[in-house]
Structure 1
Amino acid sequence: MTIAKQALAALAAATSLTTGAMAQEASYHYEGDLRLSPQTGRLAADWTLTVTDDALAEVTVFLNAAFGEASVAGPGVSGVSSALAEGFSGMMRSYTIMLEPSVDGSDRVIEMRYGGALFPEPSASTINTLDTEKIEFTVDSFWLPFDARFSALITADLDIWLPGQWDGVTMQSITSTPGGFHIDQDVPALDLAFTLMSDFERHAAPGYAIYDTRQPAGGNIEAAVAALDHCTDYLNTLSGTAGPLPDASIVVTSRAEGGYSRGTLIALTDIADASESGLTQFVCHELGHYWSHGNAMTVENWLNESFADYVAIMGMRDAFGEAVFADRMAGYQRQIDGASGDLPPVWTPGITARPPYLVAYRKGPLALARAEELIGREAFARFIQAVMEARVSTTPHMLDVFESVGGAEARSQFEQILADQAQ
């Protein structure tokens, strides 16, 4: 079932999974109890899913296949079928749940129970872990039932139970309770992600806290602090009334790849060997996703990634100067020139496919650099601020904002750049 694998790969690369959803309604409310055994790598989950979307006649959710068959019942359920599906880093089980009709707009309730080892075999992906030092959960491991459309939003109340002394961070609100934690997610989001840590070094400053979970900790942490200080100041100034950034939790991990942003929860890869300029771009990119509102699963994902990346490059330029900026853009162009086959345009009115990596992360930022040249840096900064303030989520809306700042002729030229038709 390759669609599941492709969708998860896309979602794993997606970023802002909270702030872009703030104006949308949730399809579900998740209320659950989660019991964790770090010593054995096992969990037990008991969920009540309230379906708040009256239009749904059935739902399909994915769950880690390592749990076997989950128990699915509840007053809103009229039938259930399940099947195995290929996932991003292992097998999943899909559950198609037939719903009772909604009576007078009443919510339907689904009850799901399951348990077992999250990783009975070593995982190909190290983004998620369940051990005695760190518990890091995102959708990547399908530890929770996840809507197969990869676009449905959820709110959540989750009680977590586990032995020992831990600290925890999440996308919205986490509080310590006797025997564990309570997570409150009242802003609709795609994911329910959190990290619990028993062994870490914490570095706190106004606007953020860094949790270094590497063993040993400390490699290049001063550069991370400097990057966070600069990016926080730069983005808060750039965003105007769309800011400031909320306090962020930054988890530094020991893995070589797999950084992500879930709203104010940001995971970094091992930064020990990162250059100061590269780390600044990385941090500014993840923080910049606070203003990402394009649908990550559609053609508009270029808005998420290209804007976050170019804003990050602008922040890097502000810190390290023109030569570093020019070198980064030249490197992007070399990657485009060296790509095998023709890359699609960044965007056209008739485009239907979600952009591939090199388009979203390389062609898009290059197009934005050319747009900045068209109208000048001062006007372009006003444009970026207006995009943030307007919560732009589609390319036509973005182009309207660009025209309001740069004029109709500049808009036409920018559209040609996005369509690969500029002379």
Structure 2
Amino acid sequence: MEALNMPRLRHVLTRRLVLSGLMLGAAVTAPAYAMDAFEAVKGPLDYIGSVEFFPEAGALSAGWTVRIAEDDLDEISFALSSAFGTASVAGADVVDVTTELDERFGGAVRTYRIDLAPSVNGADRIVKFAYGGPLFPEELPLPINTLDSDKIELTVDSFWFPFDARFDSDLTARVQVRLAGEWSAVGVGSVVSTPKGFHFVQAEPALDIAFSLLSNSEVVKADDYVIHDARSEPGTKLEELTGALEFCTAYLNGLAGPAGPLPQASIIVTDRPEGGYSRGTLIALTDIEDDDEEYLLQFICHELAHYWSKANAGGPENWINEGLADYLANMGVRNALGETVFDARMARYAEQIEGHDLPPIWAAELTERPPYLIMYRAAPVALQHLEERMGRATFTAFMQRIMTDRVRTTPALLALLEEMAGAEIRTWFETRLAD
């Protein structure tokens, strides 16, 4: 590991990066007023940031103050794109920093291991980051992550901000974004336009900092959703999309009961053929021109259902996130289109996993994230079998409790199942998951 020079790290990053004649990095630390310029929000990790984007250069300049609420941590590691070189890391609670390229990501990510001073009477510790430069060294094959003059869409796998390397900590965020030109913005939390950009406040703890910026889009607003149509030829299938949004919102809110309602959904429709995803109620769709009603219902219901996903997405518990969201979506399809459509969908799921040598859906000894067929096919089929054993009324109440309790782990899910359906069904389902 390469040891960083700590005295130097206690200063603001002042080196200038020359990018196509553009000078970056003149002032990249988080502004002092950011500590009280937004409403008081705080997760286990709370990010207060200032980010300036330079779309024509594909670059950004950023400064973060990260407040760490876990008072028992002796050290913490953050992962950040290595395209920025070596970031400045500072703070009164930072005792030492070592950094190295992370072999798991082929050198694309640099990990910063930070030794922390002990918490005083349980107080938060502070770590500050500053860095800048071009984010992507070359064009990506699938433009989910984009930083150009048309769109700024950055997901966690681009490591554009320092991300807790444990990959399972929720965060809140307050971000001041600066960029020139006319842009529209969409985010998970509140978004406020400013003379030089936007303020984002993400008060609901989540795994990611989720927002996108669009230089050219058509906007459709309703009480339950806002659609940003960023396609080169906007408008196609918007009626079908709005129908799916209205149905899925009403269906899931009714099912969730006290766990709801969903906040207003923010939808981005793109031209890309694949790469849809959700971050809470921010949903990025692929081109929907050729999508039929069944597909749109299932996809929208699935992505909205992720509002209640709280399991660790980076490990074996991710079957809860994806399997439950997928089966909730299929229940929505059943409610909207009938038993025949639902039965055909689930039969196709069963056919797609038949004959494959798959690992268990979940077992205590597993450490890896499940493969696609487990999360999106085997897990929903197992939940279908559980529903058949429990009966729909009890199963629906069980799903609502999962949403209400924000169940994160399989042991917690199994304990809840035993509480609601008895030890015999719990044992059967645990065995079913391990098959």
> Is this a same-fold pair by TM over 0.5?
yes
Distance 1:123 1:395, change over 3 A: same
Which residue number in structure 2 is paired with residue 19 of structure 1?
none
The residue identity in structure 2 corresponding to 1:193 is A
- Higher relative CO (Cα under 8 Å, sequence separation at least 6) belongs to 1
Which residue number in structure 2 is paired with residue 160 of structure 1?
177
1:78-137 superposed Cα distances (whole Å, 9 cap, x missing partner): 322222235669711222222233344343322221111112311234111112221112
Which residue number in structure 2 is paired with residue 211 of structure 1?
228
Please, which of 411, 414, 422 is the counterpart of residue 396 of structure 1?
A: 411
Distance 1:269 1:349, change over 3 A: same
The residue identity in structure 2 corresponding to 1:410 is I
Q: Does 1:194 align with 2:211?
A: yes
Query: Structure 1, unaligned stretches of length 5 or more?
Result: 1-24
CA drift of 1:352 comes to 4.7
CA distance in 1, matches of 2:149, 2:257: 42
Q: Does 1:261 align with 2:312?
A: no
CA drift of 1:314 comes to 0.7
Distance 1:376 1:116, change over 3 A: same
CA distance in 2, matches of 1:50, 1:133: 33
Which residue number in structure 1 is paired with residue 60 of structure 2?
43
Contact (CA 8 Å) 1:89, 1:125: kept in 2 or not? no
Q: Does 1:413 align with 2:428?
A: yes
Distance 1:195 1:310, change over 3 A: same
- SS of the counterpart of 2:76? strand
Query: What is the RMSD computed on CA atoms of the aligned residues?
Result: 2.1
Please, which of 42, 45, 52 is the counterpart of residue 69 of structure 2?
A: 52
Describe how 1:83-94 pairs up with structure 2 within 5 A. Answer: 83-86=100-103, 91-94=108-111
Which residue number in structure 1 is paired with residue 30 of structure 2?
none
Which residue number in structure 1 is paired with residue 13 of structure 2?
none
The residue identity in structure 2 corresponding to 1:31 is I
Contact (CA 8 Å) 1:256, 1:269: kept in 2 or not? yes
Describe how 1:23-172 pairs up with structure 2 within 5 A. Answer: 26-86=43-103, 91-172=108-189
Percentage of identical aligned residues: 53
- SS of the counterpart of 2:57? coil
Q: Which deviates the most, 383-392 or 328-337?
A: 383-392
Contact (CA 8 Å) 2:81, 2:135: kept in 1 or not? yes
CA distance in 1, matches of 2:259, 2:123: 36
Distance 1:36 1:167, change over 3 A: same
- SS of the counterpart of 1:45? strand
CA distance in 1, matches of 2:104, 2:239: 37
CA drift of 1:357 comes to 2.0
CA distance in 1, matches of 2:360, 2:70: 35
CA distance in 2, matches of 1:416, 1:120: 47
Contact (CA 8 Å) 2:277, 2:284: kept in 1 or not? yes
Which residue number in structure 2 is paired with residue 225 of structure 1?
242
Which residue number in structure 1 is paired with residue 339 of structure 2?
322
Describe how 1:274-293 pairs up with structure 2 within 5 A. Answer: 274-293=291-310
Which residue number in structure 1 is paired with residue 375 of structure 2?
360
Which residue number in structure 2 is paired with residue 305 of structure 1?
322
1:34-89 superposed Cα distances (whole Å, 9 cap, x missing partner): 11112222111122223332222222211111111212222222322222235669
- SS of the counterpart of 2:333? helix
Which residue number in structure 2 is paired with residue 380 of structure 1?
395
CA distance in 2, matches of 1:87, 1:175: 37
1:161-219 superposed Cα distances (whole Å, 9 cap, x missing partner): 11112221112122111211111223332211111112111122221111111111123
Normalized against structure 1, the TM-score is what?
0.87
Distance 1:314 1:159, change over 3 A: same
The number of aligned residues is 394
Query: Structure 2, unaligned stretches of length 5 or more?
Result: 1-41
CA distance in 1, matches of 2:395, 2:422: 12
Normalized against structure 2, the TM-score is what?
0.84
Describe how 1:12-23 pairs up with structure 2 within 5 A. Answer: none
